[in-house]
Every structure is written in C-alpha cells, then in structure tokens.
C-alpha cells in the first residue's frame, strides 16, 4: 500500500452493514458498482456464529472485483471487497489493515456494524463512507453518526426496497444519514462522489487544511454570512479547519463545487438549514475519552467531596451533551467513585444541549 508522510494512501473505504435481507441488497449494490472505483468495500453482516460462511463465494458472482473473507492483518486495497468472517469482530487499523478478534462468548448485545464503523471513522475520517442496508434492530446507526461527525458520507437503504426496514430506519431516525436510496442508487452515488478530492483522509484535523481553490476564501465568508443571517450564529470564530471541511462536504454532496453550492444556498433555505445542522453535528458515546473519566475519579471528585458542606447535593452540569451519553457516563463514574466511601450524597446532573434540556436527579446508593 502506498504511503504519504508515513500514512497509508488515503483512498476511500466503504463500510456496509447488513442483517436480515441484506445479502440480496448487497448483491444488487455490488452488481451496480463499476469494477474500478478506487475504493475498498467491507461488508459487515450479522452471521450465524455456529456455521461456516460461503458469503465471499456468493458475492463473487455479483462483481468483477476480488471478494475476500476478512483475515487478521489483511491489507485493504482499492477495488476489492472484504466480508466479515463468522463469530468475529472486525475493525480497521491505523496501517490500513483489517483486524479481527473472536466474538465474546457472552449473551450480550452484539453490534459488529457499529464496531467497524467506529474504527472506520477514526482511521479514514472524511474518506469513510458508511452504508446501512436491510436488517432488523438498530446496529449501524451509532456508527453512522461517528462517520458523519468525522466528515464522512452516510447512506441508508430506502423503505421501498428494504426487505427488513429496522436497521435503515434506525439510521435515518438518528439524523445522520445523507442519502436514503435503493441499493442500485447507492452504488451510483458512491461511484459519483468516490473520486472527489474531498474524500481524502485527514487523521490530524489540526494539521490538515481543507482544499481551497482560488476565490474560495470569499465564498466561505459569504456562506458564513448566510448562516449568520438565517440562524443568528457566527461560525467565523469556530475552528477554521472543521468549519471549512463541513461546508466542503455539503458542497461536494449537493453541487460538486463551492461556487455552485453558494448559489444554491442563496435560494434554498432547506439546504441552508441542513448545512447548519451538519456544522453542529456532534458525536457522543458512553465514556468517550476514557482517560478523562479516570482523571475525574482521581483528582476532581475527591476535591468536590472534600468541599461539600453538610447535606448539600453534588451538582454537575454537562453542556453540549447531544443525546446524553456524557451525562450518564459522569453519573456512572461518580457512583463508582462513591462506592467505597462512607457518605453517599444526593447527585444532581443538569444536562443541556442546543435543542433540548434535561434535568436528571440521580440518587446515591
């Protein structure tokens, strides 16, 4: 695999999640894809852990691309298809190879699609593409949120073509899906956007500069002015790289270039609102950045407990909490910290976000 600046060549990787009814959908998608897209495709399907899989052999009949079963350490290459093996968990590593590990023996919830999508978002950022096809349950929805927050592109199969609509519908309801299409239409859209310059992985967001063409500085400024006029928010003070890439992402999806996109924004309030939501999208999960919670237990919570007076509750405010995982993570971490302490105070957690406010009181054990 070619490398640039010590990083794997940043061709796009398409992660595709499927469950019940997903095999037919994936075969249709593969059949509609050109042989040479410059992208790699990784299928993560819910498989029976007790039986060997012939999935790679079956899918090979639908495409001229090589179809391989994922193996530990296998380097991902463009114009190849990889399928998860039974009874495994699959991720993408920093060097661009597939990593497999045995699925745990326990009866707990198994979400292999989310697991792979999350690694894809981290390793490929804006060169990540996520697709959720037919299936039951909600696996894949949270993973798509990670991909979109990293600057990638997200798809879900439409209700009319999905044999089982649970997974695609859960993805759509998450608010993180860019396109809701049939498998053949998804293939056509992937082929269209796949070679766009935007789809270039940038693991270091601080160091990565969004591609800027001559005259784009003025266009960025005008886009921000339109957003400020429509929503009363001045994004010019936000992190420049992130804002530029979010704008370029929408421009690539809708018009292909920033000039055409600016013209569209001037006359399309729905698209202006969609861009606003895209810029503000935030990914959240339980115990994100685990080292932060360990620091809270070791340094912050002891000081709070030492300073608490009498029966006063411990109050925590979590701003910008999105769907609330941070608030619950803090509550769990605090309860764990208090587990061996003689005093169990009342805990009040105030969690707020730009769209809603939640006031949750969690009583100690």
Radius of gyration for the chain, computed over Cα atoms and rounded to the nearest angstrom: 22
Q: Clarify whether residues 23 and 104 are in a common domain.
A: yes
- Within a domain: residue 22? yes
Q: Clarify whether residues 46 and 135 are in a common domain.
A: yes
Pairing of strands 7-8, 3-4: antiparallel
- Within a domain: residue 260? yes
* 11 has pLDDT over 80: yes
Q: Clarify whether residues 38 and 76 are in a common domain.
A: yes
Q: Clarify whether residues 222 and 355 are in a common domain.
A: no
Range of the domain at 257: 216-280
- Within a domain: residue 204? no
What pLDDT, in 10s, does the model give residues 165-222?
999 999 999 888 999 999 999 999 999 988 787 786 555 444 444 455 556 888 999 9
The token duo for 16 is: 């595709």
- Within a domain: residue 343? yes
Q: Clarify whether residues 254 and 115 are in a common domain.
A: no
- Within a domain: residue 340? yes
Q: Clarify whether residues 51 and 184 are in a common domain.
A: yes
What pLDDT, in 10s, does the model give residues 124-176?
988 999 999 999 999 999 999 999 988 899 999 999 999 999 999 999 998 88
Residue at a domain's end among 136, 161, 193: 193
* Residue 164 belongs to domain with CATH number: 3.40.50.180
19 in active site: yes
**Catalytic residue of the set 10, 134, 139, 161:** 139
Q: Clarify whether residues 42 and 167 are in a common domain.
A: yes
Q: Which residues of 93-128 are buried (b: 16+ CB within 10 A; e: fewer)?
A: beebbbbbeeeeeeeeebbbbbbbbbbbbbbbbbbb
359 in active site: no
**Catalytic residue of the set 10, 19, 126, 174:** 19
User: How far does Cα 140 stand from its chain's mean position?
Assistant: 9
Angle between helices 269-280 and 216-231 (to 10 degrees): 100
Residue at a domain's end among 253, 280, 307: 280
Q: Clarify whether residues 134 and 223 are in a common domain.
A: no
pTM here is 0.76
What pLDDT, in 10s, does the model give residues 235-290?
887 777 778 888 988 998 888 888 999 999 999 999 999 899 888 776 666 777 77
- Residue 5 banded pLDDT, cuts 50, 70, 90: very low
What pLDDT, in 10s, does the model give residues 319-361?
766 667 788 889 999 999 999 888 889 999 988 765 443 333 3
CA-wise closest residue to 29 among 173, 162, 171, 169:
162
- Residue 49 banded pLDDT, cuts 50, 70, 90: low
Cβ contacts of 79 within 8 Å, gap of 6 or more: 35, 36, 37, 38, 39, 40, 65, 66
**Catalytic residue of the set 10, 46, 79, 115:** 46
* 33 has pLDDT over 50: yes
Q: Clarify whether residues 269 and 297 are in a common domain.
A: no
**Which 8-state DSSP code applies to residue 84?**
P
Q: Clarify whether residues 185 and 94 are in a common domain.
A: yes
Distance, CA of 15 to CA of 10 (rounded, Å) = 15
Span between the terminal Cα atoms of the chain, in Å: 54
Q: Which residues of 160-196 are buried (b: 16+ CB within 10 A; e: fewer)?
A: ebbebbbbbbbbbebebbbbbbbbebbbebbbebbeb
- Within a domain: residue 202? no
Instruction: Give how many domains the chain has, as a whole number.
Output: 3
Distances (CA, A) of 203 to 130, 145, 153, 242, 259: 17, 17, 16, 12, 27
Q: Clarify whether residues 235 and 317 are in a common domain.
A: no
Q: Clarify whether residues 80 and 100 are in a common domain.
A: yes
- Within a domain: residue 198? no
**Which 8-state DSSP code applies to residue 97?**
B
* Residue 348 belongs to domain with CATH number: 3.30.2300
**Which 8-state DSSP code applies to residue 223?**
H
Q: Specify the pLDDT at position 351.
A: 83
278 in active site: no
- Within a domain: residue 19? yes
């Amino acid at each position: 695999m070619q490398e640039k600046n010590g990083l794997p060549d940043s061709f796009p990787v398409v992660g595709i999640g499927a469950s019940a009814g997903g095999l037919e959908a994936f075969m249709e998608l593969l059949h509609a894809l050109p042989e040479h897209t410059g992208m790699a495709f990784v299928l993560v399907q819910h498989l029976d852990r007790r039986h060997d899989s012939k999935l790679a052999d079956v899918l090979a009949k639908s495409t001229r691309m090589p179809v391989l079963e994922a193996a530990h350490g296998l380097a991902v290459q463009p114009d190849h298809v990889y399928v998860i093996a039974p009874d495994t968990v699959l991720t993408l590593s920093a060097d661009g190879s597939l990593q497999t590990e045995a699925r745990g023996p326990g009866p707990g919830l198994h979400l292999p699609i989310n697991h792979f999508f999350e690694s894809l978002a981290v390793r490929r950022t804006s060169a990540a593409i996520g697709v959720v096809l037919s299936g039951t349950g909600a696996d894949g929805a949270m993973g798509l949120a990670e991909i979109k927050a990293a600057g990638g592109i997200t798809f879900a199969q439409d209700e009319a073509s999905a044999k089982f609509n649970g997974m695609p519908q859960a993805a759509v309801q998450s608010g993180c899906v860019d396109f809701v299409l049939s498998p053949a239409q998804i293939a056509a859209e992937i082929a269209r956007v796949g070679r766009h310059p935007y789809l270039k992985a940038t693991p270091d967001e601080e160091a990565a500069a969004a591609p800027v063409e001559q005259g784009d500085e003025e266009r960025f400024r005008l886009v921000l002015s339109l957003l400020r006029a429509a929503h009363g928010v001045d994004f010019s003070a936000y992190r420049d790289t992130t804002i530029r890439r979010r704008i370029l992402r929408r421009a690539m999806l809708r018009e292909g270039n920033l000039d055409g996109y600016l013209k569209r924004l001037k006359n399309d309030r729905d698209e202006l609102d969609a861009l606003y939501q895209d810029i503000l999208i935030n990914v959240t999960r339980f115990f994100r950045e685990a080292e932060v919670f360990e620091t809270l237990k070791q340094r912050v919570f002891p000081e709070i407990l030492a300073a608490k007076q009498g029966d006063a509750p411990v109050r925590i405010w979590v701003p910008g909490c999105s769907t609330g995982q941070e608030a619950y993570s803090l509550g769990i971490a605090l309860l764990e910290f208090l587990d061996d302490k003689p005093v169990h105070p009342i805990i009040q957690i105030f969690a707020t976000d730009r769209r809603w406010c939640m006031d949750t009181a969690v009583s100690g054990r």
